[in-house]
């Protein structure tokens, strides 16, 4: 499997056409189906030949040809079956192509040399033209290989037949020369049109591949950014609250986009719900304020992150939801958002684990800190209030009581109420808490409290794991340094370090839970964790892009334009199921349209040269070609008028109008379709026109008319026969001219080709010269007879070009479909990104959120020191007195609605330009906190106030 990293490229990077992933994409999208299509056509064609042999009872005369055809049929049938097992035989694709080409050549030469002394220069020209054209369009060769093989095919036919005819035929040198020149023009036209077709398909395939790869890259980047934003949001708000807010914002955006009248509401939206039977835990680090006064800003941030990161791990283990951090105060709830019968046990277990963690810190560092925990069980109102800087919070009298339990607690112990004890049952032993002696509120409310006995405290620790010398070395450091070094050894996750991860908790964090080191490390391990995380992150992104591209390629191989089973297309016609997409596809610009008309002009030139070499030089011939030449030149002038204007110094008004029309040729269907019909129709008509006008003309042989002054064994002159044969070749070139209009409407090409082949077959089978008898010699191989050969090859090219046009139409529709899907996906991702960003802007300051998300995402701790700031606290007086819980106010919900309106009014004030320098920090209960001077640009904080 190729390296995945090479497919994650930037806008300025350029991947190579030889990339293995592109090779697989090209094989799946073009080479495999086209090769199967060619094998199918060849099998049907040669099966038809064998049937005709046996029907005409001529099989015993042509055993060599039948054996060659049957051998080729067996080889092609085996190839067809092997190619269906594409995973095993994809590497043999070039070998298969070479074998198919060799089989074609062998059959072509067997039919030429089946009878000695019976060679004509016009024989098997369309078959070799078929080989040349299919080498470019359907066989799995590169451009260089296709050119070499096609040129060899053409030269072999010209050289071999010229030698054999010059040795056996009595024709004059001029006749041989003109026929050889006509054959060379036919092969040249086939080579150039095939090369043009191959080049256009290669460019289209490469462009679609790069577009698909870039879209997948953008999609993956958008997914990553969206996941970062969602994880950042979920790190602050619970999923059920953030989802409710998202739906409300999306609905509001829809109403705005649809110009619908928004619902009148006297109140702002309130995202608060009531939950019963939960336990609330408040925890405070005793002695931390004194320790923090000796810390630098970075040390303080690191210390708090490691402590609270550890507490978050403990909360997750015990099914508790962290609500908020207030300084060194940590509080959480068990039983949210889904009710848990063991919520009290969860909170008590968490409180004991927190006390044990702080105890280990104290023993390892010698720093005098402790943990005080208070727990109460009851009911809460939880959610967010205000319009900006949302923070998930809980409100109720039971929450206030839990806060009181913490402040009235004992350091190192878990302090619980009787309500919590009733939910515990006999899970833990308790002691009298005597909280009423330490808090007058508990005494006034007659709250009975208890202290939980930690089962681990009964285990006697006989020895100290910290070496004596190590303790002495550690005590030489400042207390804050000792704390920082020790806490970093816990390996707690950094803030939002999981934003790019597929899991919400990194493996580093989970693996570090079992490590409880009792010694102070001398160096930090945080930088090593960050570098390891960053190095593995890019690999995962590149792997996702590679897997997504492989999934797209596999999805491409599972669809088939011939089966008609697809959710995106309707039946065999491949019309899009979505009407709007079908209209978009019909009107899509064709950027290479002008080159199509240039190719058609070259085909016209080739037809003209062929008929000048072979046909009698009559006035009708010159007039007819002159008229068509004028039409072709006018069409070319319309297409290339803009470029012609650059060469003309004189500017005239009508030229400006012509240039305006020229610019719209590629983009306006009502203009390009008539021009294409006129150009293709003119070529298809001129290819056969002069045959119909000379059907009653006697054969005269003067000048170049001596070209075919040879006789068949049955004794009739062959001038009219040769003319008719080369008219058929001109008709086939007209078919090819129609096929080079690659991105034109498939229905239009089928209609033109169907009308043309019908008319051609009627003309060639009704305009029979009375003096010709094609079956005079029963031993003659029927594919040497020009009339039967004409019918066979006209039908062969018609079927081949129609099927090829169908496959190309499928590519073009697939290109349009993928681009439309990627566009819709991009719009959906942008919508969700805007919603997430809007939510984030209402949670974190924009510059802080940008610090943790995006391509330059930083996994370091965010901290910033400001020299001059102003902090404001605004409280709603006596809100605690106003707040009551009863049936009238829905257990306090309506009281919070009023608080929500007050906070929302404060938030709306900050939206005014004069308060642009003021940043809301948070709400704490009924207290509003804001600050001025927290500017992103250093030095501007002195200008804020």
Query: Distance between CA atoms of 941 and 182, rounded to whole angstroms?
Result: 86
Residues labelled catalytic: 284-285, 328
Q: Is 326 helix (H, G, I), strand (E, B) or coil?
A: strand
Of 749, 610, 728, which Cα lies nearest the Cα of 679? 749
Helix (H) or strand (E) holding 928: strand 927-932
Asked whether the beta carbons of 183 and 158 are under 8 A apart, the reply is yes
Helices within 235-339 (DSSP H only) = 239-257, 288-292, 297-317
Q: Do β-strands 329-334 and 321-326 pair in parallel, antiparallel, or remain unpaired? A: antiparallel
E strand segments, 252-407: 271-286, 321-326, 329-334, 370-384, 393-395
Residues with Cβ within 8 Å of residue 506, at least 6 apart in sequence: 493, 497, 498, 533
Residue 883: exposed, middle, or buried by beta-carbon count in 10 A (0-12, 13-18, 19+)?
buried
With H, G, I as helix, E, B as strand and everything else as coil, classify residue 285: strand
Q: How far is 202 from 146, CA to CA, in rounded Å?
A: 13
Cα–Cα distance between 4 and 539 in angstroms, integer?
Answer: 8
DSSP 387: S
User: DSSP characters for 140-176?
Assistant: ---HHHHHHHHHHHHHHHHHHHHHHHHHH----HHHH
Backbone φ, ψ for residue 431 (5° rounding): -125, 165
If you count them, how many residues does the chain have? 945
d(CA 499, CA 111): 71
Determine if residue 335 is left, alpha or beta; phi over 0 gives left, psi from -120 to 50 gives alpha, anything else beta: left
Compute, in degrees rounded to 10, the torsion defined by CA atoms 22, 28, 31, 34.
-150
- Tell me 385's DSSP state: -
How many angstroms separate the CA atoms of 839 and 722, rounded?
Answer: 81
- List residues bridging with 875 in a β-sheet: 927
DSSP string, 169-230: ----HHHHHHHHHHHHHHHHHHHHHHHHHHHHHHHHHHHHHHHHHHHHHHHHHHHHHHHHHH
Strand-pairing partners, residue 306, are none
834 near 246, Cβ under 8 Å?
no
DSSP conformation class of 502: S
DSSP for residue 437: G
Rounded Cα gap, residues 22 and 2, in angstroms: 11
Q: Nearest 5 degrees, angle CA 485-CA 488-CA 492?
A: 165
The DSSP output letter for 457 is: G
- Mode of pairing for the β-strands spanning 321-326 and 918-924: unpaired
Question: Among the residues of 559-652, which ranges form H helices?
Answer: 579-586, 593-614, 619-639, 641-647
Is 930 in contact with 924 (CB distance < 8 Å)? no
- Which CA distances in Å does 293 have to 296, 297, 300, 407, 922? 8, 10, 9, 21, 23
Peptide bond into 807 cis (omega under 30): no
Q: Do residues 521 and 489 lie in contact, with contact meaning Cβ atoms separated by under 8 Å? A: yes
For helices 593-614 and 669-693, give the axis angle rounded to 10 degrees.
10
């Amino acid at each position: 499997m190729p390296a995945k990293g090479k497919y994650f490229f930037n806008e300025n990077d350029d991947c190579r056409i030889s990339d293995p992933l592109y090779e697989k994409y090209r094989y799946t999208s073009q080479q495999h189906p086209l090769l199967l299509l060619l094998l199918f056509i060849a099998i049907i064609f040669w099966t038809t030949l064998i049937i005709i042999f046996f029907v005409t009872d001529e099989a015993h005369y042509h055993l060599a040809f039948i054996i060659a055809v049957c051998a080729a049929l067996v080889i092609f049938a085996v190839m067809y079956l092997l190619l269906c097992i594409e995973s095993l035989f994809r590497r043999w694709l070039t070998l298969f192509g070479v074998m198919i080409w060799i089989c074609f050549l062998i059959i072509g030469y067997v039919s030429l040399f089946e009878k000695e002394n019976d060679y004509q220069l016009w024989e098997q020209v369309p078959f070799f033209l078929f080989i040349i054209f299919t080498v470019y369009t359907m066989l799995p060769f590169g451009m260089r290989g296709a050119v070499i093989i096609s040129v060899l095919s053409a030269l072999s036919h010209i050289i071999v037949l010229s030698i054999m005819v010059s040795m056996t035929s009595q024709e004059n040198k001029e006749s041989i020369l003109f026929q050889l020149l006509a054959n060379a023009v036919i092969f040249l036209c086939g080579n150039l049109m095939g090369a043009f077709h191959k080049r256009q398909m290669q460019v289209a395939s490469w462009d679609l591949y790069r577009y698909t790869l870039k879209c997948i890259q953008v999609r993956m980047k958008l997914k990553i950014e969206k996941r970062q934003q969602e994880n950042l949001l979920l790190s602050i708000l619970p999923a059920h609250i953030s989802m409710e807010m998202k739906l409300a914002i999306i609905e509001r955006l829809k109403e705005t986009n649809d110009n619908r009248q928004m619902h009148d509401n006297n109140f702002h939206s309130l995202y608060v719900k009531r939950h019963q039977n939960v336990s609330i835990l408040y925890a405070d680090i005793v002695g931390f304020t004194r320790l923090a006064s000796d810390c630098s800003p970075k040390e303080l941030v690191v210390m708090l992150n490691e402590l609270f990161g550890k507490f978050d791990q403990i909360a997750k283990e015990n099914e508790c939801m962290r609500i908020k951090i207030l300084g060194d105060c940590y509080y959480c709830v068990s039983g949210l958002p889904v009710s848990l019968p063991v919520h009290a046990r969860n909170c008590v277990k968490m409180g004991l684990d927190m006390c044990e963690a702080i105890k280990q810190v104290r023993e390892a560092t010698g720093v005098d800190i402790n943990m005080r925990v208070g727990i109460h069980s009851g009911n809460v109102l939880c959610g967010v209030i205000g319009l900006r800087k949302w923070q998930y919070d809980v409100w109720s009298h039971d929450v206030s009581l839990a806060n009181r339990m913490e402040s009235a607690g004992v350091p190192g112990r878990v302090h619980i109420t009787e309500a919590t004890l009733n939910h515990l049952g006999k899970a833990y032993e308790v002691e009298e808490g005597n909280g009423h002696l330490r808090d007058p509120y508990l005494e006034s409310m007659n709250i009975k409290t208890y202290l939980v006995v930690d089962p681990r405290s009964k285990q006697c620790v006989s020895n100290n794991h910290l070496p004596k010398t190590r303790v002495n070395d550690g005590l030489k450091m400042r207390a804050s340094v000792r704390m920082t070094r020790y806490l970093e050894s816990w390996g707690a996750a950094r803030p939002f370090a999981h934003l790019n991860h597929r899991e919400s908790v990194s493996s580093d964090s989970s693996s570090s839970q079992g490590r409880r080191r009792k010694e102070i490390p001398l160096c930090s391990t945080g930088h090593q964790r960050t570098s390891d995380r960053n190095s593995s992150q890019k690999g995962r992104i590149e792997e996702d892009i590679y897997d997504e591209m492989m999934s797209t390629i596999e999805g491409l191989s599972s669809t088939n334009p011939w089966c008609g089973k697809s959710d995106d297309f309707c039946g065999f016609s491949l019309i899009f199921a979505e009407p709007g997409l079908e209209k978009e596809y019909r009107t899509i610009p064709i950027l290479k349209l002008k080159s199509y008309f240039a190719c058609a002009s070259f085909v016209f030139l080739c037809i003209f040269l062929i008929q000048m070499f072979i046909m009698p030089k009559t006035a009708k011939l010159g007039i007819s070609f002159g008229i068509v030449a004028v039409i072709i030149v006018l069409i070319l002038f319309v297409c290339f008028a803009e470029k012609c204007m650059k060469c003309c110094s004189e500017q005239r008004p009508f030229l400006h109008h012509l240039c305006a029309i020229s610019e719209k040729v590629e983009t306006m269907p009502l203009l390009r379709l008539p021009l294409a019909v006129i150009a293709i129709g003119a070529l298809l008509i001129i290819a056969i026109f002069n045959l119909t006008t000379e059907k009653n003309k006697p054969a005269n042989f003067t000048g170049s008319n001596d070209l075919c002054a040879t006789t068949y064994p049955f004794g009739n002159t062959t001038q009219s026969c040769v003319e008719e044969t080369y008219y058929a070749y001109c008709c086939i070139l007209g078919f090819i001219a129609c096929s080079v209009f690659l991105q034109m409407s498939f229905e239009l090409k089928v209609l033109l080709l169907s009308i043309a082949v019908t008319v051609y077959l009627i003309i060639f089978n009704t305009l029979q010269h009375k003096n010709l008898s094609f079956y005079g010699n029963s031993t003659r191989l029927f594919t040497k007879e020009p009339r039967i050969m004409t019918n066979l090859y006209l039908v062969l090219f018609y079927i081949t070009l129609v099927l090829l046009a169908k496959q190309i139409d499928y590519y073009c529709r697939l290109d349009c479909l993928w681009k439309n899907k990627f566009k819709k996906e991009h719009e959906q991702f942008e919508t969700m990104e805007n919603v997430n960003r809007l939510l984030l802007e209402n949670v974190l300051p924009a510059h802080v959120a940008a610090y943790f998300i995006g391509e330059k995402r930083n996994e370091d701790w965010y901290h910033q020191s400001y020299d001059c700031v102003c902090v404001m606290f605004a409280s709603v007086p006596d809100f605690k007195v106003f707040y009551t819980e009863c049936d009238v106010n829905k257990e306090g919900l309506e009281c919070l609605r009023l608080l929500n309106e007050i906070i929302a009014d404060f938030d709306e004030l900050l939206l005014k330009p004069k308060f642009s320098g003021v940043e809301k920090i948070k709400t704490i209960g009924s207290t509003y906190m804001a600050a001025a001077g927290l500017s992103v640009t250093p030095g501007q904080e002195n200008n804020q106030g």
